[in-house]
């Protein structure tokens, strides 16, 4: 057969494209529910890690069910707030129906445009409040969770994740426990120019609302700094309550 | 036949190494050699993907129209990578999280396309599979060597465990940045050409 004729080429590429699309669509449909369950447990384990209920690796080894159980037992309330910090929705916390807001992209735009907001707030029984943040790193989106003590100023901990930051450099916001541990016990100060700062070259000694940036990851550190401050401003009414 | 097969497997690992001799896959070897863990994950995934996509392209080799072969190859490679990603996401979420950063790097890795183009389209499936995997191993070997020096001298650790940093070593910022990967690669090419005289250009 002449594999170089125009007709053959067109038919061949069409068949391959349709076939590949069909395979991908089928696989994505078939595996969808399992993937969603994994993603939900991942989101919750990140929230729990930020609130310092345990190490991230521990949650990962315990499995989805244990994570959801722990969350259900310890969470007091989960809801969304608008720009004034007034509750405008609840997130289900019963085990089968746990709802988290994982796609924060929309809210990130809403904050910047001052549009209709529904910012998620997770309150735990021990008084810790976890607030998500979302922003842009060097290569793609970065997001994470800040956990505050009852006073709304002191940070209990933080956890960050990213889609495609460089491993070993920007990727350290997720992988370097020492970077995340810097947040523990720090606080936010809305009277300062920046409520919280990630400082290139090292945070000034004695400053309680600043931490060191990551060497070789200037853009990721900047992106995280901006994300934290944008969302802190949006959450200001919740924190100052 | 056996000697040829052995040659297919051994050649890419040293004599015809994809990075140091063919100079393919340089971009990703600069990006993912900051730490050993990342380099190992990348090496394993590239080995798997080059092997599988070479196999599939070799099976299709007699039917692929010559004029659109690059596009067909790209579709096959992308399909393989996405399938692996989807299955991991459903059944081994922990591994998938480690890999997610590398998925994009694998699809665009020149070695995958290079081996399909240069070998798989002209050879039977089994040698094509072996050639793909051997190239992945050859690529991974260089990655691991470069990552060893970069993690050790840049962060003072190996696989995240403190080695030099425990001895009071001060981290070298230059080693963490991509230019150092290029310098180290240059050193490896130098060593290899010193050993293997026939690679030296007159």
Pairing between strand A197-199 and A210-212? Answer: parallel
Which residues of chain B have a CB within 8 Å of the CB of A27?
Answer: 83, 86-87
Find chain A residues with C-beta within 8 A of B66's C-beta: 3-4
Would the CB atoms of A168 and B176 count as touching at under 8 Å? yes
CA–CA separation, A225 vs A211, rounded Å? Answer: 10
Question: How far is B133 from A213, CA to CA, in rounded Å?
Answer: 39
pLDDT at A96 over 70: no
Distance from CA of B134 to the nearest CA of A (A): 25
Checking if the pLDDT of A115 tops 70, the result is no
What is the pLDDT averaged over residues B100-129?
85
Q: A106 by DSSP, 3-state: which?
A: helix
Mutation target for A interface from B32, B86, B149: give the one with most A CBs within 10 A.
Answer: B86
Task: Name the residue of chain B whose CA is nearest to A13's CA.
Answer: B72
Contact B79 A35 (CB under 8 A): no
Residue A102: the pLDDT is 67
Question: Hey, what are A41's tokens?
Answer: 């447990």
- Domains of chain A: total: 1
- B201 pLDDT band (50/70/90 cuts)? confident
pLDDT attached to residue A95: 63
A128 C-beta neighbours (distance < 10 Å), count: 20
Quote the CA–CA distance of B165 and B157 in Å, as a whole number: 7
Say how far apart CA B39 and CA A47 lie, in whole Å. 29
Range of the domain at A54: 12-239
Cβ partners under 8 Å of residue B193, min gap 6: B199, B200
CB-closest option in B38, B71, B97 to A13: B71
Q: What is the CA radius of gyration of chain B?
A: 18
Task: Report the C-alpha gap between A44 and B93 in whole angstroms.
Answer: 14
Please state the rounded mean pLDDT for residues A29-47: 90
Cross-chain Cβ contact B97/A42 below 8 Å: yes
Average pLDDT, chain A: 87
| Chain B residues contacting A via beta carbons under 8 Å | 31-32, 34-35, 37-38, 62-68, 71-72, 75, 79, 82-83, 86-87, 89-91, 93-94, 97, 100-102, 104, 151, 155, 171, 173, 176-177
Q: Report whether B138 contacts B17 (CB < 8 A).
A: yes
Asked if residue A40 belongs to a domain, the reply is: yes
Contact across the interface for B89 and A24, Cβ inside 8 Å: no
- Please compute the mean of the pLDDT values over residues B114-138 and round it to a whole number: 91
Q: Is the pLDDT of residue A166 over 70?
A: yes
pLDDT tens for each residue of A184-210: 989 888 888 888 999 988 888 888 888
Amino acid A94: pLDDT: 72
Mean pLDDT on B121-134: 92
- Residue A125: inside a domain: yes
Please compute the mean of the pLDDT values over residues A9-36 and round it to a whole number.
93
Name the minimum distance, in Å, from the CA of A28 to any CA of chain B: 7
Q: Cα torsion for A41, A45, A48, A50, to the nearest 10°?
A: -130
What are the boundaries of each domain within chain B?
Answer: 34-195
For A18, the closest chain B residue by CA position comes to B75
User: ipTM for the complex?
Assistant: 0.73
| pLDDT in the model for residue A82 | 84
Radius of gyration for chain A, computed over Cα atoms and rounded to the nearest angstrom: 21
Hey, are the CB atoms on B86 and A35 less than 8 Å from each other? yes
Query: Higher-confidence residue: A179 or A94?
Result: A179
The answer to whether the Cβ–Cβ distance between B34 and A168 falls below 8 Å is: yes
Its pTM stands at 0.74
Find, in chain A, the residue whose alpha carbon is nearest to that of B93. A38
- Tell me what the mean pLDDT of segment A75-88 comes to: 84
Residue percentage of chain B with pLDDT more than 70: 100
pLDDT band (50, 70, 90) for residue A108 = confident
Average pLDDT over residues A2-30: 92
pLDDT at A114: 65
Judged by CB atoms closer than 8 Å, whether chains meet at A169 and B171 is answered as no
Q: Quick check: A20 and B90 CB within 8 A?
A: no
pLDDT one-digit tens code per residue, B159-191: 878 888 788 888 887 888 888 899 999 999 999
> What distance in Å separates residue A88's CA from the closest CA in chain B?
33
Compute φ and ψ for B16, nearest 5 degrees.
-120, 40
Token pair for B12 = 């890419």
Give how far B72 is from chain A: nearest CA, Å.
7
Confidence of residue A12 (pLDDT cuts 50, 70, 90): very high
* Structural domain includes residue A35: yes
**Joined tokens for residue A101:** 């807001």
Cβ atoms of B135 and B43 closer than 8 Å: no
Q: φ and ψ at A159, to 5 degrees?
A: -140, 140
> Do A124 and A150 meet the contact criterion of CB atoms below 8 Å apart?
no
Q: What pLDDT score was predicted for residue B128? A: 92
Chain pair A-B, CB pairs under 8 angstroms: 85
Mean pLDDT of all residues in B87-104:
78
Q: Is residue A4 part of a domain?
A: no
pLDDT at residue number B86: 87
Residue whose C-alpha is closest to residue B188's, from B14, B9, B8? B14
pLDDT tens per residue, range B18-64: 888 888 888 888 878 888 888 888 888 889 889 999 999 999 988 88
């Amino acid at each position: 057969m002449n594999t170089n004729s125009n007709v053959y080429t067109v038919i061949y590429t069409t068949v391959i494209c349709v076939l590949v699309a069909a395979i991908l669509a089928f696989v994505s449909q078939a595996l969808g529910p399992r993937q969603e369950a994994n993603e939900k447990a991942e989101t919750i384990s990140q929230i729990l890690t930020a609130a310092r209920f345990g190490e991230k690796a521990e949650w990962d080894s315990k499995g989805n069910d244990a994570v959801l159980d722990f969350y259900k037992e310890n969470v007091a309330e989960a809801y969304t707030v608008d720009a004034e910090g007034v509750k405008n929705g609840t997130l289900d916390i019963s085990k089968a129906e746990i709802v988290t807001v994982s796609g924060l992209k929309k809210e990130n735009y809403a904050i910047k445009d001052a549009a209709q907001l529904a910012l998620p707030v997770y309150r735990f029984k021990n008084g810790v409040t976890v607030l998500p943040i979302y922003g842009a790193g060097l290569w793609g989106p970065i997001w994470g969770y800040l956990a505050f003590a009852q006073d709304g100023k002191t940070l209990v901990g933080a956890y960050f994740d990213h889609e495609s930051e460089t491993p070993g450099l920007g990727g350290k916001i997720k992988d370097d426990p020492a970077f995340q541990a810097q947040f523990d016990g720090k606080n936010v100060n809305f009277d300062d120019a920046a409520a919280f700062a990630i400082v290139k070259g090292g945070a000034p000694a004695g400053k309680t609302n600043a931490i060191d940036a990551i060497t070789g990851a200037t853009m990721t550190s900047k992106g995280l700094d901006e994300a934290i401050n944008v969302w802190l401003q949006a959450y200001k009414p919740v924190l100052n309550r | 036949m056996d000697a040829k097969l052995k040659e297919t497997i051994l050649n890419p690992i040293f004599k015809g190494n994809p990075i140091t001799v063919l100079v393919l896959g340089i971009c990703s070897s600069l990006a993912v050699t900051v730490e050993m863990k990342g380099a190992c994950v990348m090496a394993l995934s590239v080995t798997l993907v080059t092997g599988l996509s070479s196999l599939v392209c070799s099976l299709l080799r007699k039917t692929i129209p010559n004029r659109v072969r690059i596009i067909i190859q790209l579709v096959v490679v992308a399909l393989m990578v996405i399938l692996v990603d989807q299955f991991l996401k459903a059944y081994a979420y922990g591994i998938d999280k480690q890999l997610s950063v590398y998925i994009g790097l694998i699809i665009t890795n020149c070695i995958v396309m290079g081996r399909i183009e240069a070998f798989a389209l002209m050879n039977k499936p089994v040698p094509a599979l072996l050639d793909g995997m051997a190239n992945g191993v050859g690529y991974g070997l260089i990655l691991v060597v470069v990552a060893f020096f970069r993690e050790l001298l840049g962060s003072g650790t190996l696989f995240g465990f403190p080695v030099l940093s425990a001895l009071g070593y001060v981290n070298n910022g230059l080693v963490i940045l991509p230019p150092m990967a290029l310098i180290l690669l240059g050193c490896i090419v130098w060593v290899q050409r010193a050993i293997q005289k026939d690679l030296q250009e007159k």
